[in-house]
Structure 1
Amino acid sequence: MSMSERKTIDLDQGWDFMHRGIMKLKNILEGLPEPQFSPEDYMMLYTTIYNMCTQKPPNDYSQQLYDKYKEAFEEYIVSTVLPSLREKHDEFMLRELVKRWANHKIMVRWLSRFFHYLDRYFIARRSLPPLNEVGLACFRDLVYKELHGKMRDAIISLIDQEREGEQIDRALLKNVLDIFVEIGMGKMDQYENDFEAAMLQDSSAYYSRKASNWILEDSCPDYMLKAEECLKREKDRVAHYLHSSSEPKLLEKVQHELLSVYASQLLEKEHSGCHALLRDDKVDDLSRMFRLFSKIPRGLDPVSSIFKQHVTAEGMTLVKHAEDAASNKKADKKDIVGAQEQVFVRNVIELHDKYLAYVNSCFQNHTLFHKALKEAFEVFCNKGVAGNSSAELLATFCDNILKKGGSEKLSDEAIEETLEKVVKLLAYISDKDLFAEFYRKKLARRLLFDKSANDDHERSILTKLKQQCGGQFTSKMEGMVTDLTLAKENQTSFEDYLHNNRNADPGIDLTVTVLTTGFWPSYKSFDLNLPAEMVRCVEVFKEFYQTKTKHRKLTWIYSLGTCNISGKFDPKTVELVVTTYQASTLLLFNSSDRLSYSEIMTQLNLLDEDVIRLLHSLSCAKYKILIKEPNTKTISPTDYFEFNSKFTDKMRRIKIPLPPVDEKKKVIEDVDKDRRYAIDASIVRIMKSRKVLGYQQLVMECVEQLGRMFKPDVKAIKKRIEDLISRDYLERDKENPNMFKYLA
């Protein structure tokens, strides 16, 4: 039949038919015996609505059906749903609610299908809320609004029961909480305002009560175990039934109550706080402390500051032990310098190893703890021991490792590892330039007296120092090591030269080490009156050297030379290993039996202090090669000396040492001089680029620039500024004496 002939359905009749369909649906939902909808039933219901909405006005019942759709829900909720919920409480009410909500969603789905035609045309044209939304809103306005307070209280009470260790139905909670989310229809407002806010407040109160008891009863480690466990459980709670957006908020509350509130009480607990854990090496507890306190704002600051105090105190204890040992040693009058100090450096290395491991593992490599470690070590590493600066101690320590027969018997790997660690310690030393100078002096001795155990190690530590302190720091030392290799090649070609020129015979086995002046420490060169035998050597070598280069001047440093001479004594001949100076002194006795102090001094052409050391080593020390009159322990200008022909020793070959010169004073003087130049250069560099600068600013930039090598003293900088003014590099501002101008 055509459209126009279709029978008009009036509202009451049509709705009556629809109402029967809705009742059938309700019965099914209520679980009453009712056959399911067949496809025909469904089509009939759908078509009825379609027809009622497509009839010509005034018989287009779209608006009325839209209203009836909503009334159908309201009527069902008021008559059936609410009464069933109002009679139940707590968990039973929650179960009923979950069931009712599930049914309500089914009903909305079915009715929205029956009324589908409305959704497609009528609602779209009028911009009304879609059917699905209208259906859910009915439940929200009639059921949820009345019950959400009870729902919330019931859930929170279950959560607290669970916190106390009772078993609860987690699936039920998940389903109820889904209602809070779904009722928001895409927004989280209901979940957050009607449930979450109260739940967070309750959690705070719960943990606040717990913490106030635990902090009194438990040790710090026990408390932390509980705190960590609580946090784990709360995370687990979120995973099982709370909405994931609650996790950060909930954990923040728990951390606040358990950790922030009691942070200082916990860290400073008398026998179990952070100090005690460090003292007793409780690595696991410290790791847990880091994990927990890293979660709260600025939580790690106090932990790292206790760590710094602890390491500083440990270090200061080492300094004190070393000081005590040094003063006991002085009392014993045994002068083995170094042994005690070497132990000290070893201990500092071990301390660093230990706490660096803490920083890397317990404190997960956190920068805050690296900084604390650095600052702690800077405190005691710059203390020095018994008048020896730490720069010197470190240099001596390296010397002992690197020289033949040093006190350390180590494998190659162990040496490498130890050197690596010494260089790490150097980072904490403020006077790196002083270390460099001591190190260079000792390196020179090792190289020149063939005391170095292994070239590879020498080069390896220089590479490490270069990485740590820059190329400028090591350029001279690298030059020294290279010089020695070149000197060996030079010696070989000298030997070839002698072999090929028969008339160029020095008469003695001669080894000359040629070095580059700029690389090596400065040595005094004296015009020693050499014995004739040695003069010949010098001349032959000069001739050879001339064949290689015309433009280089050779300066002979006799103080660094050694000689082997044969002492023909009555009992037997003994080979004497002596310095060039000692040899020159002894050879005088080939032509005279007896010589006075002043004769010896004149013939050698040396200064008093040198002559005294020489004669002392030959007549007053262990080996009495010369007999002195009068026979006293000290040398004076009125003494006479003669060759001791009765001398003998059980060895065939003996080494006669010269008393050591105290190099420390000279090293310190040299470094001070270099520092003056460095400060001058720095000030001029800064002023050249800035043209005009205030005093404070200049000092600050200068300290900044030089800090890598040494900590310049402000007084010293002030002095250098005055000096540069007097030399017309800078001038003071006429108006403001604290301002300086650069004069080009």
Structure 2
Amino acid sequence: MDRKVIDFDQGWAYMENGIKKLKRILEGLPETQFTSEEYMMLYTTIYNMCTQKPPLDYSQQLYDKYKEVFDEYIRSTVLSAVRDKHDEFMLRELVQRWLNHKVLVRWLSRFFHYLDRYFVARRSLPPLNAVGLSAFRDLVYMEVRVNAMKAVIVLIDKEREGEQIDRSLLKNVLDIFVEIGMGEMAFYESDFEAHMLEDTADYYKSKATIWIESDSCPDYMLKAEDCLRRERDRVSHYLHSTTEQKLVEKVQHELLVNRANQLLEKEHSGCRALLRDDKVDDLSRMYRLYHKIPKGLDPVANVFKQHITDEGIALVQLAEESASNQVNHVKLQVLIRKFIELHDKYMAYVNNCFMNHTLFHKALKEAFEVFCNKTVAGSSSAELLSSFCDNILKKGGSEKMSDEAIEETLEKVVKLLAYISDKDLFAEFYRKKLARRLLFDRSANDEHEKCILTKLKQQCGGQFTSKMEGMVVDLTLARDNQLKFQEYLNENSDVHPGIDLTVTVLTTGFWPSYKSFDLNLPSEMVKCVEVFKGFYETKTKHRKLTWIYSLGTCNIIGKFEPKTIELIVSTYQAAALLLFNTADKLSYSEIMTQLNLTNEDLVRLLHSLSCAKYKILAKEPNTRTISPNDSFEFNSKFTDKMRRIKIPLPPVDERKKVIEDVDKDRRYAIDAAIVRIMKSRKVLGHQQLVLECVEQLGRMFKPDIKAIKKRIEDLITRDYLERDKENPNTFRYLA
């Protein structure tokens, strides 16, 4: 049976009645809700009008009418209602009208659904939902967007000033800006967000101007932190989530970036004052505020670095003044303790306030490198650091600490060493002092000695500690050697040195170089040496013993008239005193001839025995200085309350020799670096060669540019390198 044909006017009249009912419901007028039968009839009417054979297929006409329904409704009802109201009331009306409009679109889209399924898809036309929303956008939104935007911004500023506002209203209004874009954020961003961000900048700019003048740095930061928290809160309640980053950046820019210098340099409360007064919470807040800003922490780190540098330099100047004209190493070592305390203090800031940020580690490092490389009263930090270690590690040092405290301090010393550019100088001074501790049994604890060597090895590499480790091993071997010597003596009863003898055999390469003179030993000592030589030759034929008498010690018995006293003296002193067993009186030149010593060594030796605290020898004339015309005799009247006394030799300033040795080693190191670089590169420009050389050697010392140039010239004369004939600033490696 054929379906009844529907005329367009007849069909549309039926649809209009349904649409009128829908509008009355939206306007809140008395009206019953749609029944399912009514809904089905309206849907079926459209279906039938679209599925009739041409020319009675009214799809296009119905699509056009669909759009006209919205246009007519908006013009007759919506626009006038929105235009009548202003500010917050206009916003409420807009929100209500938008909600109604979405309901209208939803219902009409259902009635006309058949159009969407076939006609719209076939013709590639905008879907019904988009047509309905576009009508509101083009006729309502485009007219009210500026006023709506201004009204919303006014409410936001009121809230910023502490007034209560209807946040849900703002959320609904801003949802319109988002939804009207139908999946795109362009309308929200250009019609609202850009203006709101501009207003935000102006608002906080004016606030910053007032606060920076009236508030202290901590108070200003509290306000800034609170503002940022409130703005984030604003986003979570009514702004779109994509706005958060832009909004935060605006607030940061006006309150923090633009005011950074004024804020950090505020007198009595800026970053310097916070560091000085240990304001941990405020410094942590400063970090929190600035660390998310690109390069925001740079000025904070610069102030941090400058503050530490100034404190360190002040410590150096104080040490310089307290040492005055005398180089008092004990006083100067207090400076190292102060450096450690300073490092502990500011490392705590780096870890706790600045969350271990690399920028502050770098600032701390650069600050310490400035003052840790300053010379104090003629002593370098490398020397002071080695003396500080010596004081901790030797028996009877002034530092009385527990084992844990010693280990912790050594750890900190090694950290300080990282900031010192002349690490090779430290190594040489340390090696000298280590040698004295080991050779004269002055080391308080073997474990501590090994502990610091392990730490130094981790910090500076195996090459740095290889000689020192060799020295420690040597001592262990020497003790074994001494036991074997005792066994040798026990087994060979006919061989006896006549006196108790302990010999420490060392490996030349590991230990510092010592002067070895052909001291004319007294006969009692000659026998000892010969016996030990005999023993040593039974062990090895390939090693030559060189005797370093300057490091030897002897215990001799002095039979004085008041009482007998045991004297602990050096081998030189013992040799000199034993001369008086066979002579009552000896002149300076006689002693010099018999012992075969230099003037310098003899003066020190005789001074210790006749002019210092213990006057074992009587001198004529009785003056405080030694001269070649003096004569000496045994002071038989000498006495002391102790039965055993140690007679020290005047200390020798070894600093000059250490520095000379290090300079010599540096020349070899520079030569080796240049040859190594040129061997791999074959041809290289002068500047590049110098740069690479500095980089390679920088881990151990800071090479002087002039010294590098000098070494290059020397290597050219020795045919390791040659200058390029066309470009004298370029060098070639000669294999």
TM-score interval, normalised by the smaller of the two chains: over 0.9
Task: Give the aligned partner of residue 286 of structure 1.
Answer: 283
Matched, 1:739 2:724: no
1-structure distance, mates of 2:44, 2:723: 103
- Match of 2:193? 196
Which of the residues 291, 295, 298 maps onto 2:295? Answer: 298
In structure 1, the partner of 2:408 is 417
Q: Is 2:49 the partner of 1:52?
A: yes
What's the CA shift for 1:533?
2.1
Q: Give the distance between the partners of 2:375 and 2:417, measured in 1 at CA.
A: 13
User: In 1, distance between residues paired with 2:592 and 2:268?
Assistant: 72
Which one of the candidate residues 552, 577, 582 is aligned to 1:586? 577
Where 1:281 maps in the other structure, the secondary structure is: coil
- Distance, in Å, in 2 between the alignment partners of 1:362 and 1:286 is 6
What is the DSSP-based 3-state SS (H/G/I as helix, E as strand, rest coil) of the residue aligned with 2:295?
coil
**Which letter does structure 1 place at the counterpart of 2:220?**
Y
SS of corresponding position for 1:519: coil
Counterpart amino acid of residue 503 in structure 1: D
For residues 6 and 725 of structure 1, do their structure 2 counterparts lie closer, same or farther at Cα, with a shift above 3 Å needed? closer
For 1:506 and 1:492, the matched residues in 2 are separated by 15
Distance of 1:694 and 1:45 partners within structure 2: 91
Match of 1:726 in 2: 717
- Secondary structure at the aligned position of 1:214 is classed as helix
Letter in 2 for 1:190: F
SS of alignment partner, residue 645 of structure 2? strand
SS of residue paired to 1:361: helix
Which residue is equivalent to 1:122? 119
- Measured against aligned partners, the alpha-carbon deviations of 1:57-88 in whole angstroms (never above 9, x if no partner) come to 22211112112222222222222222222222
In structure 2, what is the equivalent of residue 265 of structure 1?
Answer: 262
Partner of residue 131, structure 1: 128
One-letter amino acid of the counterpart of residue 168, structure 1: I
Q: Secondary structure at the match of 2:618?
A: strand
Kindly state the Cα deviation for residue 113 of structure 1 after the two structures are TM-superposed.
1.2
Question: What is the aligned partner in structure 1 of residue 505 from structure 2?
Answer: 514
Aligned twin of 1:253: 250
TM-superposed CA distance for 1:453, in Å, is 0.7
Structure 1: distance between partners of 2:514 and 2:294: 60
Pick from 3, 11, 16 the counterpart of residue 8 of structure 2.
11
Q: How does 1:177-188 map to 2 (within 5 A)?
A: 177-188=174-185
User: What's 2:609 paired with?
Assistant: 618
CA distance in 1, matches of 2:329, 2:38: 106
Matched residue of 2:509: which SS?
helix
Q: Partners of 2:719 and 2:96 in 1: how far apart?
A: 96
Instruction: In structure 2, give the amino acid aligned to 1:690.
Output: R
Length-normalised TM-score, structure 2:
0.97
Query: For 1:21, which of 9, 18, 23 is the aligned residue?
Result: 18
Pairwise CA distance, 1:686? 2.1
- Is 1:75 matched with 2:72? yes
CA distance in 2, matches of 1:18, 1:740: 97
Counterpart for residue 556 of structure 1: 547
Residue number in structure 1 paired with 2:436: 445
Match of 2:91 among 83, 86, 94: 94
Equivalence for 1:460: 451
TM-score by length of 1: 0.96
Q: Are 1:706 and 2:697 counterparts?
A: yes
CA-CA distance at 1:464 after TM superposition: 1.2
Distance between the aligned counterparts of 1:729 and 1:498, measured in 2? 55
Percent identity of the aligned residues? 79
Structure 1 Cα separation of the partners of residues 703 and 127 of structure 2: 80
Match of residue 307, structure 1, among 301, 304, 308: 304
Deviates more, 1:512-521 or 1:628-637: 628-637
Task: Point out the more displaced range, 597-606 or 380-389.
Answer: 597-606
Shift of residue 535, structure 1, vs aligned partner: 1.8
Structure 1 stretch 383-392 or stretch 675-684: which is displaced more?
675-684
- Separation in 2, partners of 1:603, 1:517: 29
d(CA) in 2 for partners of 1:39, 1:408: 97
Q: Secondary structure at the match of 2:242?
A: helix
Q: Aligned to 1:576, what secondary structure does the other structure show? A: strand
Alignment partner, residue 649 of structure 2: 658
Q: Distance in 2 between matches of 1:743 and 1:644?
A: 69
Query: Any idea what SS the aligned residue of 1:563 has?
Result: strand
Q: Identify the residue that residue 347 of structure 1 maps to in structure 2.
A: 338
Counterpart Cα distance in 2 of 1:715 and 1:51: 101
- 1:239 matched to 2:223? The reply is no
Amino acid across the alignment from 2:138:
D
Residue 639 of structure 2 is matched in structure 1 by 648
Q: Deviations over 1:165-206 (max 9, x none)?
A: 000011111011101111111111111111111111111111
Residue 388 in structure 1 maps to residue 379 in structure 2: yes
Superposed CA offset, 1:498-528 (max 9, x none): 2222222222221111111100000111121
What CA deviation, in whole Å up to 9, does each residue of 1:15-52 have, x standing for no partner? 22222222222222222222222221221221121111
Corresponding position of 2:33: 36
Q: Which of 415, 424, 438 does residue 433 from structure 1 map onto?
A: 424
Q: SS of the residue aligned with 1:186?
A: coil
AA aligned to 1:522 is S
| Secondary structure class of the residue paired with 2:110 | helix
**Which deviations, in whole Å up to 9, do the C-alpha atoms of 1:438-497 show, x marking residues without a partner?**
100000000000001111111111111112111111110010111111111111222222
* Residue 407 (str. 1) matches residue 404 (str. 2): no
Moved more, 253-262 or 423-432: 253-262
Show the counterpart of 1:678: 669
* Matches of 1:399 and 1:155, distance apart in 2: 74
Aligned partner (choices 100, 105, 117) of residue 102 of structure 2: 105
Q: State how far apart, in whole Å, the 2-side matches of 1:194 and 1:640 are.
A: 109
Give a deviation string over 1:680-713, Cα, whole Å, max 9, x none.
2222222222333333222222222211111111
- Tell me the equivalent position of 2:350: 359
Q: Which moved more, 1:90-99 or 1:388-397?
A: 90-99
Report the alpha carbon displacement of residue 298 of structure 1 after superposing the two structures with TM. 2.8
Q: 1:112 to 1:406 in 2, by over 3 A?
A: same
1:325 shift after superposition: 0.3
Structure-2 residue corresponding to 1:528: 519
Deviates more, 1:342-351 or 1:487-496: 487-496
Q: Distance in 1 between matches of 2:450 and 2:486?
A: 28
Say if 2:615 is the partner of 1:606.
no
Shift of 1:641: 1.7
Deviations 1:124-168 (Å, cap 9, x if unpaired)?
111111111111111112211121112111111110110110000
SS of 1:365's equivalent in the other structure is coil
Counterpart CA distance in 1 for 2:51 and 2:723 is: 101
Aligned pair partner of 1:169 in 163, 166, 180 = 166
Give 1:260 shift: 2.4
Aligned AA for 1:178? D
CA distance in 1, matches of 2:231, 2:470: 65
Please state how far the C-alpha of 1:412 moved relative to its aligned partner.
Answer: 1.0
What SS does the aligned partner of 1:244 have? coil
The worse-fitting range, judged by mean Cα deviation, of 208-217 and 298-307 is 298-307
DSSP 3-state at the match of 2:636: coil
Unaligned ranges ≥5, structure 2: none
Deviation of 1:323 after TM superposition, in Å, equals 0.8
Partner-residue secondary structure (3-state), 1:56 = coil
**Structure 1 CA distance for aligned equivalents of residues 722 and 637 of structure 2:** 73
* More displaced stretch, 534-543 vs 169-178: 534-543
> Partners of 1:697 and 1:7 in 2: how far apart?
97
